[in-house]
Structure 1
Amino acid sequence: MDDGISSFWGPVTSTTECCEKNYAHSSYIAEFFNTISNIPCVLLALIGLINALRQRFEKRFSVLHISNMILAIGSMFFHATLQRVQQQSDETPMVWEMLLYMYILYSPDWHYRSTMPTFLFLYGAGFAIVHSVIRFGIGFKVHYVILCLLCIPRMYKYYIHTQDVSAKRLAKLYVATLFIGGLCWLSDRLFCEKISSWPINPQGHAWWHLFMGLNSYFANTFLMFCRAQQRQWAPKVVYFMGILPYVKIEKPKAQ
């Protein structure tokens, strides 16, 4: 929502804006709350990365956590500037991240090991090139939702084949944060005109960032548990300071 105030970054060139008054707190940050709300997402991804490295999980999980960090940082740049080039730094990593999830979810049962990563890499590179030339609007959102939907059947399969109560709770938290975050995003998009007249803006898009940061963390932790089960690493869900869940494993000495 642009109110015409001059800014360090110049006129808005992005194809989408959220229901937050531009440059209300700083001439260097277009959407203040939508920018800083990505900080917890970076921290959660960093915690996940440290755990993956410390316990020597497969590199795919380190790459996944790093992709979460890149996405959150790209989102910070986009909401801080509202420039088209920074919009790409937000949207392109969103697609890359979903391609990584597809690889992690489906690769254990894929018989031709090189075909899937090769196809997904070429698809991601092709999308980045096309996205740098074409301005996607609703098409990007439809494309992203389709990628998300392709992951759901496999996530459900993992859920029903997991007997551990704590791991199932991670999957439920994943669904809950996705649902609540989605409501926040929709309310910010659909009721912006009404919200703008309120004394205090609830900052629905900023809450979307926070819930999606938690959503990614819960998804990653659940998938790490499932993969550790496949590798027979005796995984169990433990809690840091009794709050934040993570997966602890015991690899056989041969590994």
Structure 2
Amino acid sequence: MPWPLPHIPYPRAKPGFWSPVTSTLNWCEEDYYVTVYSAEIVNTLTNLLFMWLGVKGLLSCRRNQHDQIFSVALWGYLVVGTGSFLFHSTLKYPMQLVDELSMIYTTCLMAYASFSYRRSVAFRVSLAVSLTSLAVFITLYYHYLQDPVFHQNAYALLTFVVVFRSMHTMETTLRPRWRHSREEDRLERQKKGLPVPSKEHQHYENVRDMKTLKTMWLMVGYGLTMFLGGFFIWNLDNQFCPQIRRWRHLVGLPWGIFLEGHGWWHIMTGIGAYMYIVWGIWLRHCLNNKQDEYHLRWARVWHIPEVIRTTPVSENGVAEAKKST
């Protein structure tokens, strides 16, 4: 049965400007069917989301004075999007390495941010050396094997460790019953001459932190849904590629664009990864007891979240006291 909606016949694949293909991967999108200058046009252009969010995040870090490690991570996020843009444009092996290995390096940076907080200098140095060595090992071994499955498994394992470490830190930092189980009781603090918060102030902190925790878990769930949903669609793309290609030619353009599964992977993981970085920024401010100096601006689930400084900053970079209204 012919497709009833208006459409343009789907072009056939052809050689292009960057031919021949030298990458070890070639996705389900047909090569050079729109322009000779981009091997996979949808897979290429969907990386613009990565690049836009990377720039947006870097500007936010500078404007709101977030910890420097997150600026470095966002530079890595931007390199991932740029590398993927170049890889899908050319399908060249060097660009494939830029795309895939930058994912490993950025995740290692987030691992450093997660595990190094409030640790000794010796521990931070050891951690930096260990993560650098791991990144070098993955780079060399992957170049030797040239097996994408190895890269995918390494990236998935690193991401799993970092995300669950951050979940543990979030729970033990913000949930009152876990936090209080580690604190000295009020009498012991009084004996040592330490400041004791009033019951009213403690109640305020508990309510504030539980509200923050609820929103953070929403961020985590949303980010994981994006990651897993994108992975599911990408796997459908891999498993049923011949059938999906037939459907694209049946429906034509522009409808066939919506059947590009790897493009959906870019969009959904771009959002999920950015969500994780923003979550990490907010969690770091909570660890620094600066919950009242920053807030999360995220009005709707479909909006892009941003951690905003609530307390104004003077010209010399020092936070000013909030004026009463």
Q: If the length of structure 2 is used for normalisation, what is the TM-score?
A: 0.72
In the alignment, the residues of structure 2 paired with residue 11 and residue 67 of structure 1 have an alpha-carbon distance, to the nearest angstrom, of: 29
Give RMSD over aligned pairs: 2.3
Q: Quick check: which has more Rg, 1 or 2?
A: 2
Question: Alpha-carbon deviations, 1:214-242, whole Å to 9, x = none?
Answer: 01111011111110011122232114899
Give the match for residue 6 of structure 2.
none
Kindly indicate whether the alpha-carbon contact (under 8 Å) linking 2:142 and 2:150 is maintained by their aligned counterparts in 1: no
Q: How many angstroms does 1:71 deviate by?
A: 0.4
In the alignment, the residues of structure 2 paired with residue 236 and residue 184 of structure 1 have an alpha-carbon distance, to the nearest angstrom, of: 34
Q: How many angstroms does 1:122 deviate by?
A: 3.0
Question: Alpha-carbon deviations, 1:119-139, whole Å to 9, x = none?
Answer: 212332343344445423322
Q: How many angstroms does 1:145 deviate by?
A: 1.8
Counterparts of residues 145-224 of structure 1 (less than 5 Å): 145-161=156-172, 162=174, 163=210, 164=212, 165-198=214-247, 199-200=250-251, 201=256, 202-224=259-281
Question: Alpha-carbon deviations, 1:139-183, whole Å to 9, x = none?
Answer: 222222222222232132144344313333222211121121111
In the alignment, the residues of structure 2 paired with residue 129 and residue 174 of structure 1 have an alpha-carbon distance, to the nearest angstrom, of: 30
SS at the partner of 1:27?
coil
Give the match for residue 17 of structure 1.
26
1:104 aligns with 2:163: no
Kindly indicate whether the alpha-carbon contact (under 8 Å) linking 1:9 and 1:28 is maintained by their aligned counterparts in 2: yes
Q: Name whichever of 170-179 and 89-98 sits farther off.
A: 170-179
1:76 aligns with 2:85: yes
Give the 3 Å change call, closer, same or farther, for CA 48–240 of structure 1 in structure 2: farther
Tell me the number of residue pairs that the alignment of Structure 1 and Structure 2 aligns: 253
In the alignment, the residues of structure 2 paired with residue 24 and residue 154 of structure 1 have an alpha-carbon distance, to the nearest angstrom, of: 44
In the alignment, the residues of structure 2 paired with residue 18 and residue 155 of structure 1 have an alpha-carbon distance, to the nearest angstrom, of: 33
In the alignment, the residues of structure 2 paired with residue 141 and residue 239 of structure 1 have an alpha-carbon distance, to the nearest angstrom, of: 31
Percent sequence identity is 23
Give the 3 Å change call, closer, same or farther, for CA 232–250 of structure 1 in structure 2: farther
Q: Name whichever of 8-17 and 145-154 sits farther off.
A: 145-154
In the alignment, the residues of structure 2 paired with residue 247 and residue 4 of structure 1 have an alpha-carbon distance, to the nearest angstrom, of: 44
Give the match for residue 201 of structure 2.
none
The one-letter amino acid paired with 1:169 is L
Structure 1 residue ranges without an equivalent (≥5): none
Q: Name whichever of 121-130 and 100-109 sits farther off.
A: 121-130
Q: How many angstroms does 1:250 deviate by?
A: 4.8
1:43 aligns with 2:52: yes
Q: If the length of structure 1 is used for normalisation, what is the TM-score?
A: 0.90
SS at the partner of 1:18?
coil
Q: Name whichever of 5-14 and 20-29 sits farther off.
A: 5-14
In the alignment, the residues of structure 2 paired with residue 173 and residue 159 of structure 1 have an alpha-carbon distance, to the nearest angstrom, of: 16
Give the 3 Å change call, closer, same or farther, for CA 226–24 of structure 1 in structure 2: same
Give the match for residue 58 of structure 1.
67
Give the match for residue 86 of structure 1.
95
In the alignment, the residues of structure 2 paired with residue 122 and residue 7 of structure 1 have an alpha-carbon distance, to the nearest angstrom, of: 39
Kindly indicate whether the alpha-carbon contact (under 8 Å) linking 1:167 and 1:237 is maintained by their aligned counterparts in 2: no
The one-letter amino acid paired with 2:73 is L
In the alignment, the residues of structure 2 paired with residue 174 and residue 101 of structure 1 have an alpha-carbon distance, to the nearest angstrom, of: 15
1:236 aligns with 2:277: no
The one-letter amino acid paired with 1:246 is E
Give the match for residue 135 of structure 1.
146
In the alignment, the residues of structure 2 paired with residue 106 and residue 82 of structure 1 have an alpha-carbon distance, to the nearest angstrom, of: 36
Question: Alpha-carbon deviations, 1:8-61, whole Å to 9, x = none?
Answer: 112111111111010011101000000000001111111111111111111100
